[in-house]
Every structure is written in C-alpha cells, then in structure tokens.
A and B are shown apart, each in its own frame.
Chain A
Amino acid sequence: EAQVTQNPRYLITVTGKKLTVTCSQNMNHEYMSWYRQDPGLGLRQIYYSMNVEVTDKGDVPEGYKVSRKEKRNFPLILESPSPNQTSLYFCASSSSGTAAFFGQGTRLTVV
C-alpha cells in the first residue's frame, strides 16, 4: 500500500530540547516536503527536497533543519524548539506532475 509514514503522531516537549520527526515514503517519489498547519494560515511549506542530498527552503524554514540521505526518508529536525513551533506538521511526497501523498500528521506541543 502506498503511504507516507510519520512518527511520532503526538509529541509534547520542552523548550530547547532537540527533537526529530521522521518521515518515510514507499512510492520512490523524488519530491518530499514538510508543512506546518496552523488555524487560519493553511499549510505553509517549511522545507522541500527534490532528490537525495537536494533540499531547499520553503516559506517558513526558520528554526528547522532537514536532511535527505536516502530517497525514502526525510526527517524534520528542531534543534531548539520554541513554543511558537507548536503546530500540526505534515510530511508529503510526490513525483513531478503528481499530487502529493500526505502523512497522517504530527501534533507537536512545545511548553
């Protein structure tokens, strides 16, 4: 079954404690992205990757890091989380011209 898997689904952490949200896809897609969803703001792209070792900033990259060492994986790293990064995060993958497949989301709370 084609899927994008994010882990964890829920996470509560404290300010400044480094965390990683994992994302894996099984469709051999070249493109992968991270988004955050906040009420009234829609989805905003954080980072995207066009292939292994190729990443670029989206609209809201500050405070986030990503890496793409393998085609299937695209982890999101928060080196020093802050309360304003409390949000619902989605990972997605696609090929050129195809719609994005989204993961189920990770609800992050930073206290």
Chain B
Amino acid sequence: AQSVAQPEDQVNVAEGNPLTVKCTYSVSGNPYLFWYVQYPNRGLQFLLKYITGDNLVKGSYGFEAEFNKSQTSFHLKKPSALVSDSALYFCAVRDNTNAGKSTFGDGTTLTVKP
C-alpha cells in the first residue's frame, strides 16, 4: 500500500526567510510525486511535480522540491517566504503502475508572518 507522511501539522516562518515543508512517501513502483496548495474556501491548486529526470524540480510561485530516492522524500522549499504563501500544503504520490490511485498526506499549514 502506498502512503504519504507530512510530519509537521504546522510550519511557521518569518517573511523573507527560507521555508521547508517536509514530505516522505512509500510506494511499490516508481513514484509520481506532487505538491498542491489550498487557500481558504478554495480547491487544490497544483504547484509542482516529479515524474522522472532531474531530482530538483521547480514549480509555480518560486517553489521547488527535491526528489530524494534513498530517503524517499520530496520536501517543498522556497528561498524567501511571502505572507501570501500562507496556506495549506499537500504532498501526494501515485504509483506509476496504477496512475489512478493517489494518496495524499494530511497537509501542512504554512503561516508566514510579516
């Protein structure tokens, strides 16, 4: 069975500081990995994905994530946080042998303070 762990319910950072939101996963085949963001009363929006290729992937709004196969991690990062980055972030995994089945983490609330 596949799974995703986001070990931190809440991450607090000051505006201008770097941020990291952690994600580890477990899947039997090769992983497709995704980060999504959810603003209050909205649906989820795609940020970035890793399918294959370069381990460092860049996405929307200046976010990036590094795929680490040995540590089965896919942490989300941004060099300089903005107050507007405050939202709920979800990591998700699909097994490439069953692309219909997706598993999401429980979510991490990011709060960026001015």
Interface of A is mostly: strand
Which B54-102 residues sit within 8 Å CB-CB of chain A? 90, 92, 99-102
Contact B99 A90 (CB under 8 A): no
Interface size on B, residues (CB 8 A): 23
Contact A48 B104 (CB under 8 A): no
- Provided the pairs A97-B32, A99-B34, A99-B49 are in contact, do residues A48 and B102 lie with their beta carbons within 8 angstroms? yes
Residues of B that sit less than 8 Å from A by CB: 6, 9, 32, 34, 36, 42-46, 49, 51, 90, 92, 99-107
Size bin of chain A's contact surface: 20 to 34
**B6 to chain A: which residues have CB within 8 Å?**
42
Contact code string A39-62 (vs B, CB < 8 Å = 1, else 0): 011111100111000001011000
Contact A102 B43 (CB under 8 A): yes
Q: Which of B42, B45, B99, B104 contacts A43 (CB 8 A)?
A: B104
A31 and B104 alpha carbons, distance in the complex (Å)? 16
A75 and B101 alpha carbons, distance in the complex (Å)? 18
Is A100's beta carbon under 8 Å from chain B?
A: yes
Kindly provide the distance from the CB of B18 to the nearest chain A CB, expressed in whole angstroms.
24
Known: A45-B104, A105-B42. 4 other contacts (CB 8 A): A33-B102, A58-B101, A59-B103, A105-B43
